[in-house]
Amino acid sequence: YSVFLLHRFSECRKETDDVKEAMVNALNMSTVSILSSGLTTVIGFLALCLMQFLIGPDLGLALAKGVAISLITVFVFMPVLILASYKLIDKTEHKAFLPSFEGLGRLVYRIMIPMVCIFILFIAPSYLASNANSFYYGSSKIFGPKTKLGADTAQIEETFGKNDTYVLMIPKASTATQRELSDELHTIPQVVSILSYVDTVGAEIPEQYLDEETLSKLNSENFTRMVLSLDTAYEGTETFALVKEIRSVAEKYYPGEWYLAGEGVSTYDLMDTVTADMVKVNLVAIGAVFLVLMFTMKSLVLPVILVLSIETAIWINLAIPYFAGNTIFYIAYLIISSIQLGATVDYAILLTERYKECRETMDKKDSVIYTISAVFVSIMTSASVLTLVGFMMGYVSTHGLLSQLGFFLGKGTLCSLAIVIFVLPGLLYLFDNLVVGKKGIRKQIRKHLEDDTHETD
């Protein structure tokens, strides 16, 4: 937001020598785009607060507060700082390292319609692929083989195989029923052994024959427990099928009276929780962003174009692991959907607002060319920072989830940037009548008539 305001201020200074007037004009011209961007970003992050898994609310609140404070800083303090230091800014200004991007604008104009066609072809496959990924739901794969914990775990599994331990707690009223349950559990191939009262002591031996210390390890006043040693991984399709099978057997003998715990069981429950969060978080984020854009832009068509553009970028980003055959963390998959939407829809808003502004005085072709040349530096500055930070976190972090989030952020920003620069101008061009509206077209016609009159005079 600070980059957007600073670039607009630089443009306004070319039109007037009064720096205060230039700042007022810059604020008037950039408030809608910055405020729209800020609100959509805050709402996108706050959608994470709907997650039952508490990393979502923690992350969402932290990010939303940070963006809200940034907005306040940009609107309240930054204009004062710029006006107080503009002379120093002028003295330290250097020659532009980057060329004029009018050539890029002309290139975008030439290829934008083919890019829109390619974009349309990508929508359905990327959406389907992004929802067909393989996922890790628990923490068993967070630390990879490059970390000490991951290397030790891999060596243990290589030596002793993958195994897990579940604890099944059931009422102890009938040892005969416990024996039947134990016998059926033993028929499950992954069950290596069961430590329980009926398996260790025997159903025929009364509790009174055991000392209290030994008995307390297996039985309490109302319950007895079975410790199941299993030849299975901590998570995966086979593990989840095993959890369902053990639960089904327990329900058969003790309907509604049993409890099952273990890492695989917890991961299965976590899968149920976070997959239920996915639909809720995404729908709220998309719906809220759509409403904000609808009210700030006073249009029904523009929110559809902008949200579809960024959502497709998100789907492409999340489809890459599917086509690469990689397994991803579901938490990263869920979080990046809201973060990418909130963080990169700003680029689409900035470009759209500038296009609408240009259409008041220019035709469609010139509006596209000038818009790209005017906003590319602002968008590229913000996107390059986000991309660099994302890839740095991906490469530096040894925490699997954080590393994957970093790579998702870096690739997702590049996907959004590409669609905003090369596809969105084509969509605005094709739906120009709906984007600009009749009022804007009439204003442009009057401007052309005035220009023709002046030339005639």
- Report whether pLDDT(415) > 90: yes
Mean pLDDT, residues 342-366 taken together: 87
Q: For 2-132+268-456, which CATH superfamily applies?
A: Multidrug efflux transporter AcrB transmembrane domain (1.20.1640.10)
Percent of the chain with pLDDT over 90: 26
- Report whether pLDDT(8) > 70: yes
Q: Are 323 and 453 in contact (CB under 8 A)?
A: no
Q: Give the pLDDT score at 1.
A: 79
pLDDT band at 449 (very low <50, low <70, confident <90, very high): very low
**Residue 18: both structure tokens together:** 């009064």
Tokens 């397994």, located at residue: 327
- Report whether pLDDT(257) > 50: yes
- Report whether pLDDT(321) > 50: yes
The domain segmentation of the chain, as residue ranges, is 2-132+268-456, 148-261
- Report whether pLDDT(446) > 90: no
Q: Are 444 and 365 in contact (CB under 8 A)?
A: no
Alpha helix (H) ranges present in 73-204?
78-91, 102-130, 148-160, 175-186, 197-200
- The overall average pLDDT reported for the chain is 84
The topology under which CATH files domain 148-261 is Alpha-Beta Plaits (3.30.70)
**Residue 233: both structure tokens together:** 């991984």
Q: Give the pLDDT score at 89.
A: 81
Helix 330-358 × helix 364-396 angle, to 10°: 160
Q: Give the pLDDT score at 451.
A: 52
Q: Give the pLDDT score at 275.
A: 77
Mean pLDDT, residues 64-68 taken together: 89
d(CA 441, CA 58): 47
The pairing of beta strand 134-136 with beta strand 327-329:
parallel
d(CA 247, CA 57): 31
Mean pLDDT, residues 307-333 taken together: 91
- Report whether pLDDT(457) > 60: no
Residue 310's closest CA among 355, 332, 343, 278?
343
d(CA 138, CA 324): 22
Most confident of 80-94, 152-166, 192-206, 352-366: 352-366
d(CA 8, CA 13): 9
Mean pLDDT, residues 452-456 taken together: 49
- Report whether pLDDT(299) > 70: yes
Residue 3's closest CA among 68, 69, 78, 65?
78
- Report whether pLDDT(455) > 60: no
**CA geometry: angle 89, 95, 96, nearest 5 deg:** 100
Half-sphere exposure of 415 (CA within 13 A, CB side): 26
Residues in the chain: 457
pLDDT band at 422 (very low <50, low <70, confident <90, very high): very high
Q: Please list, in sequence order, all residues whose beta carbon lies within 8 angstroms of the beta carbon of residue 279, skipping any fewer than 6 positions away.
A: none
Render pLDDT for 237-256 as a digit per residue (tens, 0 to 9).
Answer: 888 899 999 999 999 999 98
Mean pLDDT, residues 316-327 taken together: 92
Q: Give the pLDDT score at 340.
A: 87
d(CA 423, CA 272): 37
Q: 260 or 86, which is more confident?
A: 260
List the end-to-end C-alpha distance of the chain, in Å, as a whole number: 44
Mean pLDDT, residues 389-412 taken together: 90
The H or E element spanning position 224 is strand 223-230
d(CA 218, CA 240): 26
**Residue 137: both structure tokens together:** 């739901």
Looking at 36-45, 206-215, 272-281, 323-332, which range is the least confident one? Answer: 206-215
d(CA 415, CA 312): 9
Render pLDDT for 131-181 as a digit per residue (tens, 0 to 9).
Answer: 888 888 877 777 776 777 777 777 777 777 678 889 999 998 788 888 899
**Looking at this protein, which amino acid is placed at residue 383?**
A
Most confident of 106-110, 237-241, 283-287, 438-442: 106-110
